Amino acid sequence: MEEQPLRVLACGDVEGRLNALFNRVQAIQKKTGQFDLLLCVGEFFGTTPEAEAEWQLYKTGAKKAPIHTYILGAASQETVKNFPNADGCELAENITYLGRRGVFTGVSGLQIAYVSGHEARQEPAPAHCFTSKDLVALMTPLTSSSKFKGVDILLTSQWPRGVWHYANNPEVNTKLCGSNSIASLADKLKPRYHFAALEGAHYERLPYRNHVVLQENAQHVSRFIALAAVNNPAKKKYLYAFNIIPMKTMDPTELVKQPQDVTENPYRCPTKDKTDTQKTAFSATEEEPANQYFFDLSKKQGGGSRGHSRKRHSDGDRRGRDEQHHQGQPKQPRRHPQPSGPCWFCLASPQVEKHLVISIGTHCYLALAKGGLTPRHVLILPIGHYQSVVDLSSEVVEEMEKYKSALRKFYKSKGERCVLFERNYRSQHLQLQVVPVPLNRCATEDIKEAFMVQAQEQQMEMMEIPEHTDLKQIAPPGTPYFYVELDSGEKLFYRIQKHFPLQFGREVLASEAVLNIPTRADWKECKQSKEEEEESSKQLRDDFQPYDFTWDE
């Protein structure tokens, strides 16, 4: 079956002219049909009162963007205030800020790398600038793979310096235009399409090669397109429409076809000073600190008296022991949030089935899943009453991470990989489902594909969360969502619109592509007697004990 191409629009500097842009997009879509996404490079926000007033209409929901719109960050100090978080977030319905730099992979497999702002001239870098460390952190995970061929799209605010070598000259001052670091990045990432703005000019460079003829195997060509500002008086082109089939699903022979007007690679031109380029772009080797990633792991977490007997103590006893353990540290309130009515999962609740409990920490506990997919299917739950991951306080998040880490090691010892999912929909207490999948059953990529494909079949658009994006930025508290975390660290997200199949996570993992146990998709069909559950819990408790951090003194 032939792969359907994605229909994409790219736009230059919007500078706050949102109505003009979206009216133009609507007119195009009315004439030619719906596009899949709009990518905005350059400066998205304006600094005039009129621009601010227009933005407020979209921010408050009075107006809605007619297409999924992805934007880069600030390219000047004046617009930094419009971006509440450096690591990407949804700014308004259908308008998503990608982040300072990273890689975004859509449901189709389309891979978009991006870098916001100008190249920094000093350290520490201003908020609207990127550094060599940013480029190293973006490039290394991609190019270190032996299977890396390139990215589908690269979005940068600045032009790459020297892109005009071997080609038509742009209408810009080439002595001052562009960044050496962006040129070096483009050379290494080999984008099929590279978009940039900021120069107020429209420039479509001839396509260029990514290989040396007769010395290297043929590779795909790259196209660089710079776009002007929206509604510019000179009527220079600011919107560019194109169709693209993601590289990973494309026929390799089609991918490497060379157009007649292809040129040599401008970034390997012998006339320019390459030494400076390499040094500027990739001299740094440091990685981002761990606390840049999904959860903040920078705070130390104390324990209490450990062991299975803990669950027989009252919550008050546990608080007393924990406060003794934390002497010398500032006292923190230990009272867990309480539900307004009966809850099956609050540990202090009479409704909770305590025989299923495997381990109890200070803020979270581990329980055997009732009617689990496999014998080692467990739940990580907060002791207090929280509805979802995005509602959790930092100390609860930290302990949840410790449980995740312990479970990954435990499953690894059993020859299994770990898949986590959460459904924040028609549920009142957070249940983080943790399901082990035997390593010999399928690869992580197969599991990811199973979620993507089965979501598509149900007309749900599941997206991959950009690497440095916190779930709280994408789903503010109260937002219904479905979320998956794979053992590779990749995270998938679906914002639930109206209806959502309650057993979706189980159905995907039970499917032929993953565990191949379709009859166990519904937990009600897998129920055990209380005696069987007690036996299963005891077995799992004993097996997990060597990995249970709550036993550490």
- Confidence (pLDDT) at 352: 78
- Cα(447)–Cα(51) distance, integer angstroms: 44
- Confidence (pLDDT) at 341: 65
CATH for the 354-547 domain, from 3.40.1520.20, 3.40.630.30, 3.30.428.10, 3.40.1160.10: 3.30.428.10
- Confidence (pLDDT) at 469: 67
Phi and psi angles of residue 523, each rounded to the nearest 5 degrees, phi first: -60, -30
* Helix, strand, or coil (residue 91): strand
Kind plus residue range of the DSSP H or E element containing 337? none
Sheet containing 463-464: which strands, arranged edge to edge? 357-360, 364-368, 378-382, 432-438, 416-424, 481-485, 491-495, 463-464
pLDDT band, residue 198 (cuts 50/70/90) = very high
Q: What is the mean pLDDT of residues 195-213?
A: 93
The correct answer on CATH 3.30.2000 for the domain covering 6-256 is: no
Q: Contact 333/487 with Cβ under 8 angstroms? A: no
Strand partners, 119: 130
- Confidence (pLDDT) at 390: 87
Delimit the CATH 3.60.21 region(s) of the chain: 6-256
Query: 548 pLDDT exceeds 80?
Result: yes
Q: What is the DSSP-derived secondary structure letter of residue 453?
A: H
* Relative orientation angle of helices 180-189 and 132-143, to the nearest 10 degrees: 10
Model confidence pLDDT, tens digit, residues 306-365: 333 333 333 333 333 333 333 344 334 456 777 766 777 888 777 778 899 999 999 999
Percent of the chain with pLDDT over 70: 86
pTM of the model: 0.53
Integer angstrom CA distances of residue 451 from 37, 419, 529? 21, 11, 31
Model confidence pLDDT, tens digit, residues 158-174: 999 999 998 888 999 98
Q: What is the mean pLDDT of residues 64-81?
A: 94
> What is the pLDDT of the chain when averaged over all its residues?
84
Helix/strand/coil (H, E, C) string of 295-334?
Answer: CCCCCCCCCCCCCHHHHHCCHHHHHHHHHHHCCCCCCCCC
- Cα(221)–Cα(167) distance, integer angstroms: 14
List the one residue out of 258, 274, 294 whose CA is nearest residue 464: 294
- Choice between 497 and 408, residue whose per-residue pLDDT is larger: 408
Query: 415 pLDDT exceeds 50?
Result: yes
- Cα(156)–Cα(42) distance, integer angstroms: 7
- Confidence (pLDDT) at 244: 96
Model confidence pLDDT, tens digit, residues 445-499: 999 999 999 999 888 988 888 666 678 777 877 789 999 999 988 899 999 987 8
- Confidence (pLDDT) at 468: 64
Q: Contact 468/293 with Cβ under 8 angstroms? A: yes
- The Cα angle at residue 326 between residues 321 and 329, in degrees rounded to 5: 155
- Confidence (pLDDT) at 280: 37
- Choice between 195 and 318, residue whose per-residue pLDDT is larger: 195
- Confidence (pLDDT) at 538: 94
Query: 112 pLDDT exceeds 70?
Result: yes
The separation between CA 119 and the C-alpha centre of its own chain, rounded to angstroms, equals: 24
Q: Contact 58/92 with Cβ under 8 angstroms? A: yes
Kindly state the tokens that stand for 446. 């197969």
- Choice between 552 and 192, residue whose per-residue pLDDT is larger: 192
- Confidence (pLDDT) at 316: 38
Percent of the chain with pLDDT over 90: 60
Kindly state the tokens that stand for 401. 């991470």
Model confidence pLDDT, tens digit, residues 231-251: 999 999 999 999 999 999 999
Model confidence pLDDT, tens digit, residues 2-18: 578 999 999 999 999 99
- Choice between 155 and 333, residue whose per-residue pLDDT is larger: 155
For 417, counting Cβ atoms within 10 Å of its Cβ (0-12 exposed, 13-18 middle, 19+ buried), the class is buried
Integer angstrom CA distances of residue 201 from 29, 48, 212? 25, 22, 30
List the one residue out of 117, 132, 127 whose CA is nearest residue 181: 132
- Choice between 552 and 167, residue whose per-residue pLDDT is larger: 167
pLDDT band, residue 428 (cuts 50/70/90) = confident
Model confidence pLDDT, tens digit, residues 354-396: 899 999 999 999 999 988 999 999 999 999 888 888 888 889 9
Q: What is the mean pLDDT of residues 221-234?
A: 96
Delimit the CATH 3.30.428.10 region(s) of the chain: 354-547
Pick the range with the lowest mean pLDDT from 295-304, 322-331, 426-435, 441-450: 295-304
- Which string of DSSP letters, residue by residue, matches 224-285? EEE---TT-TT----EEEEEE--GGGS-HHHHT---TT-B--GGG-TTS-HHHHHHHHH---
Q: Phi/psi zone of residue 441: left (φ > 0), alpha (ψ -120 to 50 degrees), beta?
A: alpha
